[in-house]
Structure 1
Amino acid sequence: MQRSFKNMMLTCSCLLLTLVCACKKLVTVPPPINTISTVQVFSTEQQANAAMAGVYSRMINGTDMTGIGSIALNSFSAGLSTLLGGLSSDELYNYQGTADQSWYSVNTNKLTINNSSRPWSAWQSAYDAIYGANSVIEGIAASKSSMLKDSVRKALTGEAKFVRAFSYFYLVNFFGDVPLALSVDFNQTAKLPRAPQAQVYQQMVQDLKDAAATMPATYPTGNGERTRPNKYAALALLARVYLYLGDYNNAATTATMVIDDATDYTLESDPDKVFLTNSREAIWQLQQALQDFTIKNATPEGYIMRPNVLKIGIATFCLTPSLLAAFEPGDQRFKKWTDSTDNSLGTANKPGVTYYPLKYKISLANGESGAAPTEYYMVLRLAEMYLVRAEAAANGGPGGTATALADLDLIRNRAGLPPLSTALTKDQLLTAVAKERRTELFAEWGHRWMDLKRTNRMNAVLSATPLKQPWLGDYQALYPIPTSEISVNHFLTQNTGY
């Protein structure tokens, strides 16, 4: 049963499972009654940091530490956004086909209010993160403890606002208008209507500006690792938000602020190093727990994407022929970020050879229980900032065509591809941007799905995709609102077409 938005707020609990000291020790924060327990939770810096770390733990490990192996299927921030976006677009297909209707309905864009359990898990998990972020914001604001320094208050409040903006970004891109909950007070949230997307984006921009102004530029709370967002994570997400809003000047300017910090961020020259722990390209990564013997030391997404038996096992989520065809000859991203399996050798299953994402190398097949992770789950990385600036510049933002070409060529050079022609028209340049986004950001956080929608190419591309036939209409750009939410909050309305 889906955990409803109303029930989540009614719980009024700040029970946060926290991983402290590199996710080795769990800290249970006592639950308050109808409010935030500032004395118990935020009387010291250690407790406040633990509460914030607990939000990240739930985002990557889920709420039940015994179920980490399936968290990628159930949490928007541990792999579900990648799966939903990849299957809804022309990026992934589910090998099981009609045998797994929960994914088949997503993959064929035939969602109804009766078969939308997968998208509704994204709704629930995103609001869970928002609730945790709001708990931290309100807990810090209410705390009168002298042991909680002002600098720490500001930094942690910035982190919480960042997480809130991050979660709302995926909610509005999957569901459209959504309730804008800015408090854990049940009296304020129980009957919230859906806020227009423009209002939610406005809140995201404000939260991210606040976060960038108060968060540190380094990674002190992650012991130097990039597992807690900082100022540049807020700026990176803000640059993306500006791009989605069509504010090309601010998108390019904000992306440049991240790119120019060459001391901390550089493109890894080898694609195989991009997704490693503390990659120089990483702006923010989520650190998985190691307590689950099923997932071992893999990321949730690495665990779910790779076959259990390499080379002859079944890859459940496969790369589509159209995506494979998008890679140019010699593209190192195809060589190093994809792999294939001939599952017919061991099982007599067809079609036999299928390709799957290999951005994360560690899986059930080669993971080690209790071993230190060599990969963290990449959330934001520098390559996207170059692509954001390239698209913004191509659309008239600062730097124009010259900057757009230079940024695209940096990405292409890392992939082992030649530079683009300097004679490209604007339309050709935008096509080149879309192609590089597709081959650089594939199987990452639903980028392809959102790109098709925001650039008005969804109908043209997906209505011609065989698996999507018959194409039922562009209403499929948004997922249905969970009916369990509407049943308890009559101020909510359903998306058109459902």
Structure 2
Amino acid sequence: MELRYKPNFRKKLNSRLAVGAVAIASTLVFSCSKVNDQVPFSKLTPKEAFSTPDRIEKSAIGMYDALQNLEFLGGRVLIYSDIRGNDVNVASYFGNVPTFNMLSSNIYAFNAWSGGYRTIFESNYFSGNLKDNESVVTPAVAAGYYAEAKFIRALTYFFLVNTYAQTYTFDAAAAQPGVPLVLTAARDGAEALDPKNKIPRASVKAVYDQMIKDLTEAAAVLPVETGDDYNDRARATKGAAHALLARIYLYQGNWQKAKDYADSVLLSPRGYELAATPADVWSAGNYQSSMERIFSVAMSSGDNPNTNNALGQHYGSAGRGDITISQSYLKLPNFDRFTDLRAKPLFTYSINKTTGDTTAFYTKKFFGNSTVDAWVPILRLAEVILIKAEALARLNTATADPDAITLLNQIRTRAKAKVLAPATQAALIDNILTERRIELAFEGHGEFDFLRTHRSIPARENVDAQPWNGDYVIFPLPQSEVERNPNMSQNPKY
């Protein structure tokens, strides 16, 4: 197999290359004043940026640079799902986001929307310019680049549609409003402001269909591995596409396909395997070597050099320490925080110097080498194992599926937790959902898991319980976008 990924990808990514559309401040649905006066490149024209194979490679790396957007998959969009779940306490830094009383003018909703669509713009812009210059590289190399762009676009849409729209099974036909599907990029500001680009929201089904299409096409082309440890975890691969498809089908309630794609990962010749201990997954020294990490957004202190966005700053006691672990999480069934390896080795706490009492618990998943360089976890093998376990459990309505129980206990045994033996399908599903909370906490699954399984989010502190299908469990669309685009509908009650 032709290896099209270069070993020095890590150096190029962290240099934040300014090619292509890096100067654009808008997408087809996100614009600012005088955008028609701006030119969508800063150092090289598109023709120059795509004039040699090496420059095209650097432009491709720019898509991953966009994926690091500090307001979106640099970590923030994962935080939003978690602080609206029940495993962390209300984080005052994020204003009304964790208390479910946001306004349509909310700055976090605005920034996440623009960050997500900026990332999509970059992938579309790259694909459009590559199309104009395909002859510069071989057809196989071009196909690989298109596949990477589709993976990035699908991944970004997954978080956009689940943040700004009701979960897939909210409506039997998934016909509820989703988010705008933008599949091409404007070449300049004037084109971006063309009325034809004021597009309406696509249905949630249409967004999911597009994600599945993008990932299926990408998986057919992406390599199993690239020959470089860094790229195998920080750049799109076949395993990453299959793992994201497994998650998407789980959200749809398509249990068979969720199982099938989970199997594609578990049986991959890549040889994914769980780390020896839960803590090993989160050691910065293992970011490039852990066979449990399928895909992460690679970060460095140069990518995120401030205290307001990095996961380690918000989650870590050594940083801002805005997000603390809730008692609800600490008291989950089947979770002994004194013996389970997902507790003590991965927790830290602050001590009241007067009384000696433990006053707050923090996760240590995002310490990295500092508080700002932790890789953002997107897909890892433990999640894929639990996806298959849940799919099997739901497919077998007659009893507690024995294979699902084995998979559940595979995760628990790694953590030195007691083996479980649920006797009914309902008990098994409950065990698996609890295990997902224990294992995947603080990785962006919090609120999403409640909503996709039609479970109301319990009350906490001064926050009322939220029904899974309530109006306020999703973000408002930025009001400025609704006002600029007459075809854009706002979410109810905003």
The AA in structure 2 aligned to 1:304 is H
The AA in structure 2 aligned to 1:59 is L
1:334 corresponds in structure 2 to 343
CA contact (8 A) 2:294 2:379 kept: yes
- Which secondary structure does the structure 2 equivalent of 1:318 belong to? coil
CA contact (8 A) 1:251 1:389 kept: yes
Are the structure 2 counterparts of residues 20 and 149 from structure 1 closer, same or farther at C-alpha, using a change threshold of 3 Å?
Answer: farther
CA contact (8 A) 1:23 1:289 kept: no
Q: Which runs of 5+ in 1 are unaligned?
A: 1-17, 63-70, 368-372
The AA in structure 2 aligned to 1:28 is A
Cα deviation, residue 94, structure 1 = 3.9
> Pick from 27, 51, 62: which aligns with 2:17?
27
Cα deviation, residue 221, structure 1 = 7.1
Cα deviation, residue 22, structure 1 = 5.3
CA contact (8 A) 1:336 1:359 kept: no
- Which secondary structure does the structure 1 equivalent of 2:144 belong to? helix
Cα distance in structure 1, aligned partners of 2:357 and 2:476: 32
Matches within 5 A, 1:6-405: 21=11, 23=13, 25-29=15-19, 38-60=46-68, 62=69, 71=70, 75-94=71-90, 97=92, 100=93, 103-114=94-105, 116-145=106-135, 147-176=136-165, 177-185=178-186, 186=192, 187=194, 190-220=197-227, 224-261=231-268, 263-275=270-282, 276-278=286-288, 279-291=290-302, 294=305, 300-308=310-318, 315-326=321-332, 328-329=335-336, 330-342=339-351, 344-345=352-353, 353-362=359-368, 364=370, 376-396=375-395, 401-405=401-405
Are the structure 2 counterparts of residues 189 and 37 from structure 1 closer, same or farther at C-alpha, using a change threshold of 3 Å?
Answer: farther
Cα deviation, residue 89, structure 1 = 1.4
Q: TM-score, normalised by structure 2?
A: 0.82
Cα distance in structure 2, aligned partners of 1:207 and 1:144: 19
Cα distance in structure 2, aligned partners of 1:221 and 1:484: 44
Cα distance in structure 1, aligned partners of 2:360 and 2:239: 38
Cα deviation, residue 448, structure 1 = 1.9
Cα distance in structure 2, aligned partners of 1:351 and 1:190: 58
CA contact (8 A) 1:337 1:357 kept: yes
Q: Which runs of 5+ in 2 are unaligned?
A: 1-7, 22-37, 166-177, 187-191
1:484 corresponds in structure 2 to 480
> What whole-Å deviation, never above 9, does each CA across 1:321-378 have from its counterpart, x for those lacking one?
1011116222110122222112x439x9x9971111111233657x8xxxxx7x5332
Which has the higher mean CA deviation after the structures are superposed, 405-414 or 332-341?
332-341
> Pick from 464, 474, 492: which aligns with 1:469?
464
Are the structure 2 counterparts of residues 253 and 166 from structure 1 closer, same or farther at C-alpha, using a change threshold of 3 Å?
Answer: same
Question: 1 or 2, which has the higher helix percentage?
Answer: 1
Cα distance in structure 2, aligned partners of 1:393 and 1:262: 23
Cα distance in structure 1, aligned partners of 2:304 and 2:490: 41
Cα deviation, residue 433, structure 1 = 0.9
1:455 corresponds in structure 2 to 453
CA contact (8 A) 2:63 2:126 kept: no
Cα distance in structure 2, aligned partners of 1:443 and 1:360: 9
Cα distance in structure 2, aligned partners of 1:203 and 1:478: 21
Cα deviation, residue 189, structure 1 = 6.3
CA contact (8 A) 1:137 1:160 kept: yes
2:423 corresponds in structure 1 to 424
- Which secondary structure does the structure 1 equivalent of 2:89 belong to? strand
The AA in structure 2 aligned to 1:417 is A
Are the structure 2 counterparts of residues 158 and 353 from structure 1 closer, same or farther at C-alpha, using a change threshold of 3 Å?
Answer: same
Cα deviation, residue 305, structure 1 = 1.7
> What whole-Å deviation, never above 9, does each CA across 1:81-117 have from its counterpart, x for those lacking one?
222111111122245x4xx4xx231121111224x22
Cα deviation, residue 51, structure 1 = 1.4
The AA in structure 2 aligned to 1:453 is L
Cα distance in structure 1, aligned partners of 2:250 and 2:149: 23
User: How many residue pairs were aligned?
Assistant: 442
- When the two chains are superposed, the root-mean-square deviation of aligned CA atoms in Å is 3.1
Cα distance in structure 1, aligned partners of 2:327 and 2:350: 15
Cα deviation, residue 184, structure 1 = 0.7
Cα deviation, residue 270, structure 1 = 1.2
Identical-residue share of aligned pairs (%): 27
Cα deviation, residue 434, structure 1 = 0.6
> What whole-Å deviation, never above 9, does each CA across 1:204-234 have from its counterpart, x for those lacking one?
0000001100111103577655211111100
- Which secondary structure does the structure 2 equivalent of 1:465 belong to? coil
Which has the higher mean CA deviation after the structures are superposed, 47-56 or 218-227?
218-227
CA contact (8 A) 2:10 2:230 kept: no
Cα distance in structure 1, aligned partners of 2:182 and 2:196: 6
Q: TM-score, normalised by structure 1?
A: 0.81
Cα distance in structure 1, aligned partners of 2:102 and 2:110: 11
